[in-house]
Structure 1
Amino acid sequence: MIDHHSPLRFFPANNRGRDFIIGDIHGQFDIFETILEKINFNDATDRFFATGDIVDRGPYSDQAVDWLTQPWFNSVRGNHEQMIIDAMSGKGDPARHARNGGSWFYQLPLERQHEIAIHLKALPFAIELELLSGEKIGIIHAEPPGLEASLSWQKRIKRLSAFNPTVREKAQNQALYSRARIENSQKQIIEGVTQVYVGHTTVREVMSIGNITYLDTGCSFPDGKLSVIDLHTKLVVSCGAESSS
């Protein structure tokens, strides 16, 4: 059961510094810190946006709240955040979550579990970001809702808060879990935004299909890495676990 959360968070253009989008961190905040060093990140002017799944599998998932309280760090909600939200609402499957990298959560004191869940529940399903160039960027964890080619980004996002519960829950589940577009190599352009950045589906290298770019390069796996893209230069920087040790 997914809640009536405000589905979209909008960010105006950053006229002071750079904007970066990073793939699924999955508790690997040590690798994230290495990336911050590699790109000479300036927390006074630069901003970071994550594709969700910032928790589970990695050893530092408990740090997620600390990062979310940083004014420059923002994330959409992923299915791993949703599993925590569902577990704490009594409607989830803690055993399944634990098998999928979430066992760390159930080892925490109940008060800490509630604190983490509150922060994760505040995450939007989607982020829309403006660039100084006038481009509009969309960020969502898995894929934009709605498989119809004619639907714009804006119409897809509206489904996330539809009054009809069937439409709303289907859209939210697509936002968190869907792999239909990449599995079917659907190259239709999502109108209304220049580019959409997603995570969820592990790819060996950052890749695009149509105007959807897949950023989850599997940092929680031994042969994977964490990848980030500079939205202004379009340069990709990747870092594996061995680089952060």
Structure 2
Amino acid sequence: MLNTLSKIFRSRSQIQRPAVPDGTRYYVIGDIHGRLDLYEALIDAVERDDAASIPAATQIILLGDLVDRGPDSAGVIERTRKWQKERNVRVLAGNHEEMFLQSFEKPDILRHFLKHGGRETILSYGISQKQFNAMTLEEMHAFLPQLIPQSERDYIAAFEEMIVAGDYAFVHAGIDPAVPLNAQKRSDMLWIRDRFLDHQGALEKVVVHGHTIFDKVMDCGNRIGIDTGAFRSGVLTALVLEGDSRRTIQTSTNDDQITVEIAQSA
């Protein structure tokens, strides 16, 4: 009897929590959506946090949707490129990056893009409100390649689809629960919602994702959603993973002031 109880308690204590590889630290940032102010503050907070922590192979992952809706998508892209010169920063493609790139193909796609935050992105590249309003859709479509250079589009087109580290998979929207990680479709990784969010069972990895807005970090065991709606809530979130520990760093606006909050997860 005592031996049986001992085995039960020992097996429970040996249950491993999801972890990233030993000696690494990951800062995973949710949907920025043009909020350069919150992003700059979060970069500063991440740098301070990393400097105050034990030395590690630090990696930074942006979960996509850097652009649209917020006021300075161009600034977010520029700041990310600068950060990549200083740090190991990897960027995942979001559905808004996909819409952005596809808007150069046909006016009808551009129309859809403009309805979903693309207007703010185009304005952030230096066109005046007056000039924007004066253009027809066809004129705007013809003007876009002059406004946003090919080098910028090539940079965005090179964003990754999925990153795997230890027991975690990082992706913009989620995955199809019925499909192995190595066979996921791009459309699902950038756009999926209900089939992924409603899945209650175990997944191949713990999926850290953005895309769907939550009031707070949503830890469901098999997935962790960290899109806290920066463009409308004024809260931008980074999930910090080190070993099997988790914590969050958030920047938020309050009376025109940006505050930083660090919280330890269970």
- TM normalised by structure 1 equals 0.74
Are the equivalent residues in 2 in contact too, given 1:186–1:209 (CA < 8 A)? Answer: no
Give the 5 Å matches for 1:45-64: 46-64=58-76
1:132-171 map, 5 Å = 135-144=166-175, 146-148=176-178, 151-154=179-182, 158-159=183-184, 171=185
1:206 is aligned to 217
Distance in 2 (CA, whole Å) between partners of 1:60 and 1:105 is 7
The answer on 1:180 being equivalent to 2:225 is: no
- Give the corresponding residue for 2:40: 33
Determine which structure has the larger helix proportion and give its number: 2
Question: How far apart, in 2, do the equivalents of 1:94 and 1:147 lie?
Answer: 32
The answer (yes or no) to whether the contact 1:31–1:239 under 8 Å persists in 2 is yes
CA contact (8 A) 1:86 1:92 kept: no
**Structure showing greater Rg:** 2
Where does residue 98 of structure 1 map in the other structure?
Answer: 114
Does residue 239 of the first structure (1) align with residue 255 of the second (2)?
no
**Structure 1 portions without partners, runs of 5+:** 1-11, 130-134, 160-170
Aligned length: 207
1:141 CA displacement = 0.7
% identity of equivalent residues: 23
User: What is the distance in 2 between the residues matched to 1:74 and 1:117?
Assistant: 17
Residues 94-119 of structure 1, C-alpha deviation per residue, up to 9 Å, x if partnerless?
12211211114434463452332211
Partner amino acid, structure 2, of 1:173: S
Per-residue Cα deviation, 1:155-198 (whole angstroms, up to 9, x for no partner): xxx24xxxxxxxxxxx2221111111455x3111112x3x2110
Q: TM-score, structure 2 length as denominator?
A: 0.69
Match of 1:23 among 25, 30, 33: 30
CA RMSD of aligned residues (A): 2.7
Give the Cα separation in 2 of the matches to 1:105 and 1:55.
6
- The answer to whether the Cα contact below 8 Å between 1:206 and 1:215 also exists between their aligned partners in 2 is yes
**1:64 CA drift (Å):** 3.5
| 53-62 or 33-42, larger mean C-alpha shift | 33-42
Q: CA deviation at 1:72?
A: 2.4
